[in-house]
Amino acid sequence: MLHRDRNVDQRFLTEGRLTTGKVLIKSRSTDSHTYYASYVYQLPNGHKCYGAARLPLQQWEALTELGPLSVRYLTTADDRSRPDGAIENPMLGPAFATTGGLLTLIGLYLLLRK
């Protein structure tokens, strides 16, 4: 699994395209030592993609909800993305999928509520 994650890291470096996304929700774990953000970004064709990631504290503190976020996505799999500076951990995949889905729904509700 670690080898595959290194390949993904390499793909982000070589194939990744940088864009500016928007932070939907900032959250932290109940122990307050893990920080997350859900975000949305738009592809050149107009399609919107959503993601969630674990961030270092300093980067998380600098974010504001509905504020800008630098996001790198794979041009060959444009729904695969990560904010610049995101923390990678192969064991967090299932947790991010669940958390990201929930945060995205909450973020959409907040955006559509206005």
Confidence tier at 80 by pLDDT (50, 70, 90): confident
Model pTM above 0.75: no
Following DSSP, what letter does each residue of the chain receive, concatenated?
Answer: -HHHHHHHHHHHHHHEEEEEEEEEEEEE-TTS--EEEEEEEE-TTS-EEEEEEEE-HHHHHH--TTSEEEEEEETTEEEEEEETTPPP-GGGHHHHHHHHHHHHHHHHHHHHH-
pLDDT at 111: 82
Q: Which domain holds residue 14?
A: 2-113
Q: What is the total count of domains within the chain?
A: 1
What is the tens place of the pLDDT at every residue in 97-109?
Answer: 566 777 778 888 8
